[in-house]
Structure 1
Amino acid sequence: MVDAESERRLRNAGTWGGLAVSAIALAGVMAATAGQGTPPTERAAPTAAQEPGCPPETGTSRLADPAMPDPATVTPQRAAELDRRLTEAAAGQRIPTADSPVTIPVIVHVLSRQDGTGNVSRAKIDAQIAGMNKAYSGGHGGADTGIRFELHDVTRTADDLWFRDFMGNEEAIKRELRRGDGGTLNLYTADLGRGILGRSTFPQDYSVNDWADGVTVDYRTLPGGGREKFDLGHTATHETGHWLGLFHTFQNGCSHPSDYVDDTPYERQQSAGCPEGRDTCPSRPGEDPVRNFMNYSDDACMREFTEGQGERMRRAWAAFRA
């Protein structure tokens, strides 16, 4: 077993100077309103990091195989509690409109092997941020959510153990690398294995485990990353939706209140591939939202957020991250 000091000597961590943070951008993220909380969520799978002595908390994730059990399933009870906390925290808050976009600073933490595996290029990172901006602005045909992203920095850490076992070393990784407050999106890339594409925390949980806050994706899901069916960058788009308070479109199945967004049709179960015309809740209006970014469809199928999802994300931003 490698002790902590020996492991640190094996690590070769470096930071790229990213885009300069303007005074205005910094002002927008310096004050994060603490929500009352519980912990993480989401595109396929995870258990969130935990404080010593505490039971593991579930996060939320995107799965590569929608047929496999999702260890990050959000129970109806937990979803209801998260929604209650959002409603209470957002009361009296000034909610941004889609006409005045919120710009979120992003710090990308690239984990890789010592031999360079996983050391994704700056070009792929730039493409990821551009892809998220296109998705969140309605560039694929969906609604403009009023959310934008700006890359502020990139860190690079070569550590074989951290790269291949992010979940098993999550607390150590995030406590060392994470930067900013609740309004800063920390995006980690690593090898998450075959089953999990990405994972995220919920904004309601920032006040409980601020060090755990952020989004993690498999490095191959970035644009051009080579993950079959999932390399257009929509895993980060999906997981960031959770980071901003969204549930999966199939949350609660055909039962009220579904995903707590009025304009996403009910859906009994997650989608796979791109099953256009599928209707798993025939007694409810509308076909399944298989093209929604908060589903499990292939990247090429995904193209939209709804106006209601945009409003919920902006409410969560004002309540917990602004």
Structure 2
Amino acid sequence: MIRRSSRGGTAALWSGLSLCAVTLTGLVASTSPEPATQEVAAPENVSAATMTNEPYCPPGTEPVSEAERRVADPDAGPSDSAEVTPEQAAEYQDRLRRAMDRVRDHEAAAPYTVPVVMHVISASDGSGEISDARIDDQVDVLNRAYRGEYAQGSEGTDTEFRFELADVTRTENDTWFRDFGEQRDEIRAELRQGGPETLNIYTADLGSGLLGFSTFPQDYADDPDQDGVAIAHDTLPGGDREKFNEGHTGTHEVGHWLGLFHTFQNGCESPGDYVDDTPYEREAASGCPEGRDTCPEREGEDPVTNFMNYSDDACMTHFTKGQADRMAEHWAAFREGAPQA
């Protein structure tokens, strides 16, 4: 049985942006580096929290236990646990570079106001229901995170992205709720609203160990109906997911939706996550291992408190200026002014 309802938000859906004064003029993507030689077996276009091989531990460090997974998942099944390969990451980077060549002289201004549509999928017994208050709290977490309000001292930056709730849909469907991974193509094709600038977030039971997954901006043009973010319903603020119930699964997955890789992309091998000011990291962090350094020959300790890692929610505090620039590039290249579905 399917029951649906929709809550009108405080903002209407739109294809434009709320624009202020700071422009992206002169922001140019770097040329695509050579793919790293590190071999990582992976299903196509999937990025997960931990590597499946034994973790590398520099002298004096302990192995890190496997984290619950937040993945970037354009095509493969969300139950898969593997990394985006260096070759796949390089292809995404090359597509960004080519797209930025086309929009280099286009002035896109910040802040970027993103309309958000929340799709709450629940079961007939009430599992998965999320109150309007918790939805508002999730949007608030996104705004605080992307403004840099969780950052400590000077570690973070205001990315200039803002989020405004546009609509909430509610669907009661036992199959969709409990088997979202198998049904997701149908679900997203039926429920998705807006164009490339609209952030569609789906909540459901994603299964044990999986916190969320997202598409990349580069994939919108080929499959607009599937664009969006899925997060486990119990990861929203006030949920029951121990260590992961402060809303930062949403923060993390929206980072993928805006073009960011994990901080541990490519491990210790160049070009890492394609962001100059995030230190190299061999593998995902679990818990909050402050002072960890899995790439001792590279400058800086592991970015365990970065939102694009897999640390506990309470440990995650910031994006960097380089990540903010990269998200702005992806917005200009693939979301602002992209064709409507």
> What is the TM-score normalised by the length of structure 1?
0.84
Q: 1:78 to 1:129 in 2, by over 3 A?
A: same
State the shift of 1:73 in Å. 2.1
After superposition, where does 1:64-213 map in structure 2 within 5 Å? Answer: 71=81, 73-91=83-101, 92-93=103-104, 94=106, 96=108, 100-141=110-151, 142-213=156-227
* C-alpha RMSD over aligned residues: 2.0
Point out where structure 2 has 5 or more consecutive residues left out of the alignment.
19-43, 50-68, 337-341
The correspondence for 2:8, drawn from 6, 14, 17, is: 17
The equivalent of 1:28 in structure 2 is: 17
Return the alpha-carbon distance in structure 1 between the equivalents of residues 147 and 220 of structure 2.
25
Identify, as 1 or 2, the structure richer in helix.
Answer: 1
Per-residue deviation, residues 157-209 of structure 1 (Å, max 9, x unmatched) = 00000000101101110111001111100000001111100000000001111
What CA deviation, in whole Å up to 9, does each residue of 1:5-57 have, x standing for no partner? xxxxx1111111222428xx54339xxxxxxxx967566266957xxxxxxx2
After TM superposition, the structure 1 = structure 2 runs for residues 143-292 of structure 1, keeping only pairs within 5 Å, are: 143-292=157-306
Question: Match for 1:294 among 297, 308, 319?
Answer: 308
Tell me, in whole angstroms, the C-alpha distance in 2 between the residues paired with 1:258 and 1:289: 12
Are residues 140 and 242 of structure 1, via their aligned partners in 2, closer, same or farther at CA, if it must alter by over 3 Å? same
Distance 2:107 2:45 in 1: 24
The C-alpha deviation readout for 1:115-153, integer Å capped at 9, x for no partner, is 221110000000000001000011012211111111000
Q: What SS is found at the alignment partner of 2:17?
A: helix
Stretches of structure 1 that go unaligned for 5 or more consecutive residues are 1-9, 30-37, 50-56, 62-68
Cα distance in 2 for partners of 1:229, 1:290 equals 15
Q: Is the contact made by 2:15 and 2:197 (CA closer than 8 Å) also made in structure 1?
A: no
TM-score for the superposition, normalised by structure 2: 0.80
Q: What residue identity is the alignment partner of 2:134? A: K
What SS class does the counterpart of residue 249 from structure 2 fall into?
helix
C-alpha contact (below 8 Å) 2:46/2:83 kept by paired residues: no
Runs of 4+ residues over 6 Å off in structure 1: none
- Cα separation, partners in 2 of 1:296 and 1:39, compared to 1, 3 Å: closer
Number of residue pairs matched by the alignment: 286
Identity %: 55
In 2, the alpha carbon distance for the partners of 1:125 and 1:184 equals 16
Query: Do the aligned partners of residues 47 and 104 (structure 1) sit closer, same or farther apart at CA in structure 2, a change above 3 Å counting?
Result: closer
